[in-house]
Structure 1
Amino acid sequence: MPLKPIAIYLPQYHTIPENDEWWQKGFTEWTNVKKAESQFTGHYQPHIPLNNNYYDLSSNQVMEEQAALAKSFGIEGFCFYHYWFTGHLLLEKPLHNMLAEKKPDMPFCMCWANENWTRTWDGQDKQVLIEQHYSLDDDKKHIEYLMPFFKDERYIKIDNKPVFLMYRTELHPNIKEAVALWRAEAKKAGFDDLYLIRVENHLKEINPADHGFDAGMEFAPDSGYKGRKVAKSNFMKYLINKILHNSGIKKSVHHQNFIYSYQSMVNSLINKPKRAYKYFRCVFPSWDNSARRKIHATMYLGSKPSIFQHWVKEMANFTRKNFEEKEQLLFINAWNEWGEGCHLEPDEKHGTQYLEALKKGIEE
């Protein structure tokens, strides 16, 4: 089966000195996940991993177990978030362990998450914890750092071109020059080129070629295709609650947060107009980042494995129809974004149902 489901992977499940300093001693993604609370009747929080498996990614054994589970449900690779700040690495230990130990036997690629880190989780978005700076000298050092990963036999390649994603290409002031340098270094290292994918989320429709990239990747949830707000299903009630909320008489969860229908969002993304350029699709099983944000959280209510399965089937068909076999990648957000309520990993409520839905959707 040529289609390759690739699950996005968050490595923030081990302690690092920076998080100890910025947040609290012993901080990991689990810190926020465990604090989550249900905010209204039927609100699914907290998300508890199956068998209370609050794992520590400082052990490579954890990733071996995850890879075995993922592969058993048809996932053919992980796409790891990679954090590089002018040579300063964050959360690099799992990838370094994987490279050094040559385990697990799991295809992988990397996505440079090149945003500044801020105190978003406690509402202080403008307080920068670590800032991203760009220069061609740093771009050269960056590609040199990446080469041992690219040369690993497990690294995902298309026509001998390592697949590398970048979260926000528009933030790099000299992105086309950086790309030219990266491609030249890849060819010097014996590759035919790089296969560069820009993640499409914050800005509307940029042709990847304008930044020197080969393709775009839909990042679901897409802010331009949110679907219907749940509260607006009863518009009069919605309007009254909004008036009471704005006047300060009665705070409304629906007006403190952004709460949408999962089914409506899925319909919106399935019917999204086709891009004029090469564009990889993406699906997600559920989304609720209220574990990270007390207010202004984004939630998609009504997610079910059956709806997810249908969406996977539609996006798998789109991928098979629009890409050559060697390029048939379908991204899933995410393997383990527990703080955003967005995980294929089994939880106490659903077990492996979303993994089963993914497998069935791909096979259909």
Structure 2
Amino acid sequence: MNNSSIKSIAIYLPQFHPIPENDAWWGKGFTEWTNVTKSQPRFEGHYQPHLPADLGFYDLRLEEARLAQEAMAKEFGIHGFCYYHYWFNGKKLLNKPIEQKLKNDKEDLPFMLCWANENWTRAWDGLDREVLLRQDYDFEDDKEHMSYLCDTFFNDSRYIRHEGKPVFLIYRPKLFKDINKTIEIWRKVALEKGIGELHIGYMQSWGVKDEPTSMGFDFAVEFQPHFPIVHSKPKSLFERLKLKLGLKNKKSQDRIFDYKKFTEIQMNKPFNPIVSPSLIPMWDNSSRRKTDAFIFTDSTPEAYGDWLQHIVTNYPWNENKENFLFINAWNEWAEGNHMEPCQKWGKQYLEITRKVLSKA
């Protein structure tokens, strides 16, 4: 197929600037870089810390930092960014980079939003059950939220659309009281606001594989890393992974997997044309987690390129309306998961992305 019809969307984390909430929770001046720079190798050959190369330790409050990111994305064939969006019953977090982009015509890379609709907890220091900021759901809040989105984002000419409809993603649909009702409210508000129809999707993660229209969605996105169920008998996720992928260090509390074995499993799975494909360049969230980290070893640009080529060649693009290909992620540095150049790989992940997409 013609490459111009594949829209590669890189998921974008805006947590690279200080905010008062993070100052209170994690210490003055905290940003994503705080976790990144503290990381240390946990076993022989463990690639940590992941340190930035070309773009440096940027601050997303700065226009030049955001422009440099967009220029790099365009140079290497990225169609647009999907920004994580944080809304807690009217309280907005980490919104400064995207709201500054809206005021700046020079930042012209297309963009869309994914609502990261879950509680903020102390997962980074292992206290997952301690809630810092709760995500509550209310139908009146649904109206307020969608009004804000319509007034602030959906009428922007740079916002990514499908058949003229603004595309909006939900991270965890099963946390809503009644997702069908919420989406019904959202669609009504968008019409009343003059935005028109919406194109709403959800991330297929956390075991949710429902057919999108059954929940009121238009489509779904395969959210990687996605671990398939490989045994019919009920077993814990950890046991399934251990049986299928192989645990390298049985005494460690971290879960360590081989990236190439993981990609082989992914490439042997059938595609679903109503689910947009995605892939990860690498993954290692030990920067964020003192224990119980997920770590993929042996990830290389070549292995990533093989997976990307498989998707581009074999995904049933002619049966899919959106033609989105999601890359998770552009800059999840504390998850060891980034397309931005690092000191180990440089621009190799970007270069192979451009090479594969240019020949599609």
| TM-score, structure 1 normalization | 0.90
Q: Secondary structure at the match of 2:351?
A: helix
Pairing 1:281–2:285 present: no
Q: Secondary structure at the match of 1:66?
A: helix
Residues 45-81 of structure 1 deviation map (CA, whole Å, 9 limit, x = unaligned)? 0001005711101112211110000110000100000
Cα shift at 1:363: 2.6
2:72 matched residue in structure 1: 69
Pairing 1:50–2:53 present: yes
Cα gap change, 1:323 to 1:78, in 2 (>3 Å): farther
Which residue identity lines up with residue 256 of structure 1 in the other structure?
Q
Cα shift at 1:34: 0.2
1:150 matched residue in structure 2: 154
Pairing 1:218–2:222 present: yes
User: More displaced, 102-111 or 219-228?
Assistant: 219-228
Cα shift at 1:327: 1.6
Cα shift at 1:22: 0.6
- Whether the aligned pair in 1 keeps the contact of 2:119 and 2:132 (CA below 8 Å) is yes
Counterpart selection for 2:115 from 112, 116, 126: 112
Cα shift at 1:357: 1.2
- Whether the aligned pair in 2 keeps the contact of 1:319 and 1:330 (CA below 8 Å) is no
Which structure 1 residue ranges, 5 or more long, are not aligned? 232-237, 243-251
| Residues 178-327 of structure 1 aligned to structure 2 (within 5 Å) | 178-224=182-228, 228-231=245-248, 242=250, 252=251, 255-275=252-272, 278-319=274-315, 321-324=317-320, 327=322
- Whether the aligned pair in 1 keeps the contact of 2:154 and 2:166 (CA below 8 Å) is yes
Cα shift at 1:164: 0.3
Cα gap change, 1:52 to 1:77, in 2 (>3 Å): closer
Identity of paired residues, percent?
45
1:358 matched residue in structure 2: 353
Which residue identity lines up with residue 186 of structure 1 in the other structure?
A
What is the rounded CA distance, in whole Å, between the counterparts of 1:282 and 1:136 in structure 2?
31
Cα shift at 1:159: 1.1
- Whether the aligned pair in 2 keeps the contact of 1:280 and 1:319 (CA below 8 Å) is no
What is the rounded CA distance, in whole Å, between the counterparts of 1:76 and 1:42 in structure 2?
34
Cα shift at 1:318: 3.9
Pairing 1:349–2:344 present: yes
| Residues 113-132 of structure 1 aligned to structure 2 (within 5 Å) | 113-132=116-135
Q: Which has the higher helix share?
A: 1
What is the rounded CA distance, in whole Å, between the counterparts of 1:354 and 1:348 in structure 2?
12
What is the rounded CA distance, in whole Å, between the counterparts of 1:321 and 1:49 in structure 2?
34
Q: Secondary structure at the match of 2:337?
A: coil
Pairing 1:340–2:335 present: yes
Cα gap change, 1:42 to 1:52, in 2 (>3 Å): farther
Which residue identity lines up with residue 184 of structure 2 in the other structure?
A
Cα shift at 1:320: 5.4
What is the rounded CA distance, in whole Å, between the counterparts of 1:52 and 1:75 in structure 2?
17
Cα gap change, 1:191 to 1:318, in 2 (>3 Å): farther
Cα shift at 1:210: 1.8
What is the rounded CA distance, in whole Å, between the counterparts of 1:224 and 1:22 in structure 2?
35
- Whether the aligned pair in 2 keeps the contact of 1:229 and 1:258 (CA below 8 Å) is no
What is the rounded CA distance, in whole Å, between the counterparts of 2:280 and 2:351 in structure 1?
14
Residues 163-209 of structure 1 deviation map (CA, whole Å, 9 limit, x = unaligned)? 00000011011211110111122223334411111001102411111
Which residue identity lines up with residue 105 of structure 1 in the other structure?
D
| TM-score, structure 2 normalization | 0.91
2:238 matched residue in structure 1: none
Which structure 2 residue ranges, 5 or more long, are not aligned? 230-240
Cα shift at 1:322: 4.4
Cα shift at 1:323: 4.0
What is the rounded CA distance, in whole Å, between the counterparts of 1:261 and 1:76 in structure 2?
29
Counterpart selection for 1:90 from 88, 93, 96: 93
What is the rounded CA distance, in whole Å, between the counterparts of 1:317 and 1:172 in structure 2?
36
What is the rounded CA distance, in whole Å, between the counterparts of 2:54 and 2:221 in structure 1?
34
Q: Secondary structure at the match of 1:106?
A: coil
What is the rounded CA distance, in whole Å, between the counterparts of 1:323 and 1:230 in structure 2?
37
Q: Secondary structure at the match of 1:33?
A: helix
1:234 matched residue in structure 2: none
2:172 matched residue in structure 1: 168
User: More displaced, 309-318 or 22-31?
Assistant: 309-318
2:237 matched residue in structure 1: none
What is the rounded CA distance, in whole Å, between the counterparts of 1:21 and 1:341 in structure 2?
25
Q: Secondary structure at the match of 2:162?
A: coil
What is the rounded CA distance, in whole Å, between the counterparts of 1:20 and 1:26 in structure 2?
6
Cα gap change, 1:109 to 1:175, in 2 (>3 Å): same
What is the rounded CA distance, in whole Å, between the counterparts of 1:52 and 1:144 in structure 2?
35
Residues 15-53 of structure 1 deviation map (CA, whole Å, 9 limit, x = unaligned)? 000000011000000000000001111100000100571
